[in-house]
Amino acid sequence: MTTDASLGVIGVVDAVTAQLRTKILSGEIPSGAALTEAAVAQTFGVARPSAKAAIEQLVAGGLLVRTAHRSARVVDIDADTVRDVYRTRARLESAALRELARFRTVPDAARTANAELLAMPPGPDPATVDPDLRFHTALIDALESDRTGRMYRSVLDEVRLCMAQVQGRRLLDAEQIAAQHAAMLDAVAAGDGDLAADLLSAHLLSAQERLVDALSRD
């Protein structure tokens, strides 16, 4: 349990935010669930202002939504949300790949993350989410632009939530993901930014539509 007495106020807010984020991304707090300031304060043993600040951080990150005079709720992942999140990713990551390809810069962090995927047992596995997301984030970070990094990270919680939904339903094979990643990096190394961007678009579209299809069946 996190308490205001054990940490500074900022530390308390960050700790509560992190724990709530983990519970939401794992599905322990399901889509549509309400999160009141009183309930969060009681659960984590913190003051109401700290609970409110933690909730507002998650609203800003896109994991919670709040309407006027209503409690915050865990965002519902629907087809429109999934497509918008993946379109946003494609815009930013395609531009990153093209820029990296101009200089044939293949990020070491991307290779490392992909090696972790290759080392995993065959078949879909929720454990792929972390190295998969680190691969894509490495493409953005390799640009060495604080502003681009902040822009990408502003949607990262929603990206992770969508990816967790994909792999929670065991829709994509780790070996297949790694192979697609490797093809992108090969295109970057060859200086072919258009090919790298096309491969990325196909990669993201596959995950997007599999999740949309699964949501429609649900």
Q: pLDDT per residue over 85-120, tens digit each?
A: 999 999 999 999 999 999 999 999 999 999 999 999
Q: Count of alpha carbons within 13 Å of 85, Cβ hemisphere only?
A: 28
Average pLDDT value for the chain:
91
Are 205 and 89 spatial neighbours (Cβ–Cβ below 8 Å)? no
Closest Cα partner for 184 from 96, 123, 125, 122? 96
As a dihedral over the C-alpha atoms of residue 29, residue 58, residue 124, residue 127, rounded to 10 degrees, the angle is -90
On whether the pTM is more than 0.75, the answer is yes
CATH architecture of 79-217: Up-down Bundle (1.20)
Query: For the chain, which residues make up each domain, given as ranges?
Result: 9-74, 79-217
CB atoms within 10 A of CB 172: 22
CATH 1.10.4080.10 fits 9-74, yes or no: no
Closest Cα partner for 133 from 149, 165, 110? 110
Q: Which tens digits make up the pLDDT trace of 173-214?
A: 899 999 999 999 999 999 999 999 999 999 999 999 988 998
